[in-house]
Amino acid sequence: ENTDFIIDSLQEKEYQIISPIKKREERSAIIHFNTGSLETTEKLYKKLIHANILITLQGENIRVSPSFFTTKEEIKILLDLV
């Protein structure tokens, strides 16, 4: 459910989602996405890190990995910043 919420929100904001998302059975809780350019993806990454959002930058993509214990409120904070 949290993963779906993040994916839907990122798609609405027109981010490029790299992780498999078309078939639910191919998904995991890990979501890789980018802004379309390395420069703006790195800027967004730094913004999120500065806001104490726990993510990683892997190659040209931001990796989000919500756990079972991640709350909707925490996810909303992330999505408000992107």
pLDDT the model gives residue 67: 82
Identify the band that residue 62 occupies on the pLDDT scale cut at 50, 70 and 90.
Answer: very high
Helix (H, G, I), strand (E, B) or coil at 4: helix
The stretches of 1-82 forming alpha helices (DSSP H) are: 2-12, 38-50, 72-81
Mean pLDDT value across the chain = 91
Check residue 43 and report its DSSP letter.
Answer: H
**pLDDT digits 0-9 by tens, 8-40:** 999 999 999 999 888 777 778 899 999 999 999
The three-class DSSP label of residue 26 is: helix
